[in-house]
Amino acid sequence: MTNPVFSALGTTIFTHMSALAVQHGAVNLGQGFPDEDGPLAIREAASRALIEGPNQYPPMRGRAELRQALAGHAKRFYGFDLNPETDVVVTSGATEALTASIMAMASEGEVVLIEPAYDSYRPILEAMGAKARVVKLAAPDWRLTEAALRAAFTPQTRAILVNSPLNPIGRVFDRQELEALARVLADSNAVAICDEVYEHLVFDGRPHLPLASLPGMAERSLRVGSAGKMFSLTGWKVGWITGPAALMRVVANAHQFITFTTSPALQLGIAYGLEHGMEFTLNLTRTLQANRDVLRDAIAGLGFKPLACEGSYFLTADIRGLTNESDRDFCERLVREAGVALIPLSPFFADGKPDNLVRFAFCKKRAVIDEAVARLRAFFK
């Protein structure tokens, strides 16, 4: 007998839409990956390490250079004092970081998901025997409220997954929302697993506030990050978790039996990037913000109704001005007939609703965005 959690699943919506994009020669504004590789200097640092070594198993918690660079990054941007020995674990991408964190925290209890929710959270917590309880945000404001959180938390709550900036809706939770969450957590025995992979990709001068920076929250937060998003190197799959030593010990115990460790050359490349390459990331944020604006104005002119986007790679839009189809049917028709791939939002909700929203990835070259817009314009004219 196979595990019912995984036998009930298909491939992810990202894989599905990317395959359709290839099949139909479509411009891919679906799966979120940049089409320009990150800094050459980072790739050179990694390639030097690949040739000169080390090429054997790195330490289970990650190379010391990278753990130190991550502690330095957390200090520089948020004022955190992390001990690289005890408070940092390097993983093979944020996907593994999330899996290790959920495995460390979830068992037969409950885990709160904020929907729309990234697709990897639920299957892992369910495979651990936990039950998901959902806080469903509502368009167009998608605000997190204390009342909704209190309704989802019970004495069995072990953890909450908090993704900010939030894929797919681009929400960046503000201080008021995070303070509400902190009050609810303080009254519980739960830990927050904070998926902050888009921490630097926040627009319009807004700050990214880690929940861990609020009073009392560092002790009960695990922060997950990804070098893929920071340096436009998504294929490298270098991620990390930081948090208090007592929790990180358990997270490391899970990590040691998932991958144990991550390619040493890539770790050294990212350590170099964190120390010398942050200018790239800060520029990337400006480029992405400009892409968001161009795309938003263009699709608004075609009958889509764009929603606000405060951060991440993603802009969402309401399609009801264009069609009565479900988001998924619309995306599957668009990739075939217009040659543009998008992502429907309904897979990010357990009940598949709402189904009138689509996601555009704007982490693409301007020429690619322009081509997608030209194809959409020709299709909807």
List of residues contacting ligand PMP (CB under 6 A): 32, 93-95, 118, 163, 167, 195, 197, 226, 228, 234, 237, 239
Q: Please, are residues 29 and 313 in contact by the beta-carbon 8 Å criterion? A: no
The tokens describing 281, both together, are: 């990331």
Q: Which does 31 bind (CB under 5 to 8 A by kind): ligand GLN, ligand PMP, none?
A: ligand GLN
Select 135 or 338, whichever has its Cβ closest to ligand PMP: 135
Q: Report CA 193 to chain centroid distance, whole Å.
A: 12
Per-residue string for binding with ligand GLN, 161-200, x by CB under 6 A?
------x---------------------------------
Tokens read off for 74: 């957390």
**Closest residue to ligand GLN, Cβ-based?**
32
Please list the helix, strand and coil fractions of the chain in percent, rounded to the nearest 5, in that order. Answer: 45, 15, 40
Structure tokens at 250: 């358990």
Strands 343-344 and 357-361: antiparallel
Residue 305 phi/psi, 5-degree rounding, is -115, 95
Query: Least distance from C-beta 170 to ligand GLN, angstroms?
Result: 11
Interaction mask 20-59, ligand GLN, x per CB under 6 A: -----------xx---------------------------
- Residue 195 binding: pick among ligand PMP, ligand GLN, none (C-beta 5-8 Å cut-off by kind): ligand PMP
**252 versus 298: smaller Cβ distance to ligand PMP:** 252
Could you say whether residue 12 binds ligand GLN (CB under 6 A)? yes
Nearest C-alpha neighbor of 218 from the set 238, 239, 194, 237: 194
316 binds ligand GLN (CB under 6 A): no
Q: Considering the complex, what minimum distance in angstroms separates the CB of residue 229 from ligand PMP? A: 7
Query: Which entry of ligand GLN, ligand PMP, none binds 74, CB below 5 to 8 A by partner kind?
Result: none
From start to end of the chain, where are the E strands?
A: 27-28, 88-91, 110-115, 131-136, 157-163, 191-195, 221-226, 239-242, 305-306, 314-318, 340-341, 343-344, 357-361
| Closer CB to ligand PMP, 228 or 264, in the complex | 228
Report how many residues bind ligand GLN under the rule CB under 6 A.
5
Alpha-carbon distance of 173 to 179, in angstroms, equals 10
Question: Interface with ligand GLN includes 232 (CB under 6 A)?
Answer: no
Other beta carbons within 10 Å of 183 = 15
Which residues are at the interface with ligand GLN (CB under 6 A)? 12, 14, 31-32, 167
